[in-house]
Amino acid sequence: MQVLGVIRRLQVQRTSLKVGDRLFRSYDPAGIVAVPKLTITSAGVVGWSDDGDRIDDIHHRDHPESKNRGDNSISLGFTSHYDEIRQAYGDHVTDGIAGENILIEQDQLIGEDDLIPGVAIETAAGKLVRLGNLIVATPCVEFSRFAMQFPPDARPDESVTTTLQFLNDGMRGYYATYSGPDTAICVGDRMLFG
Query: What is the pLDDT at residue 23?
Result: 73
Confidence of residue 21 (pLDDT cuts 50, 70, 90): confident
Hey, is 117 helix, strand or coil? Answer: coil
Query: What is the pLDDT at residue 165?
Result: 97
Query: What is the pLDDT at residue 62?
Result: 94
Query: What is the pLDDT at residue 140?
Result: 94
Are 17 and 164 contacting, i.e. CB atoms less than 8 angstroms apart? no
pLDDT at 22 over 90: no
100 vs 77: CA distance, rounded Å: 6
pLDDT at 156 over 80: no
Determine the average pLDDT of the residues in 166-180.
96
Confidence of residue 154 (pLDDT cuts 50, 70, 90): confident
Confidence of residue 64 (pLDDT cuts 50, 70, 90): very high
Residue 114: phi, psi to the nearest 5?
-65, -25
pLDDT at 157 over 90: no
Match domain 2-193 to its CATH number in 2.60.40.1930, 1.10.3720.10, 2.40.33.20, 2.115.10.20. Answer: 2.40.33.20
pLDDT tens-digit profile of 107-153? 999 988 889 889 999 999 999 999 999 999 999 999 999 999 998 77
166 vs 187: CA distance, rounded Å: 28
Are 142 and 23 contacting, i.e. CB atoms less than 8 angstroms apart? no
Instruction: Look at 38-47, 59-68, 151-160 and tell me which has the smallest mean pLDDT.
Output: 151-160
Q: Minimal CA–CA distance to 159: which of 173, 149, 174? A: 149
pLDDT tens-digit profile of 73-95? 999 999 999 999 999 999 999 99
Per domain, the residue ranges of the chain are 2-193
pTM for this prediction: 0.96
Number of Cβ atoms within 10 Å of the Cβ of 10: 24
12 vs 28: CA distance, rounded Å: 14
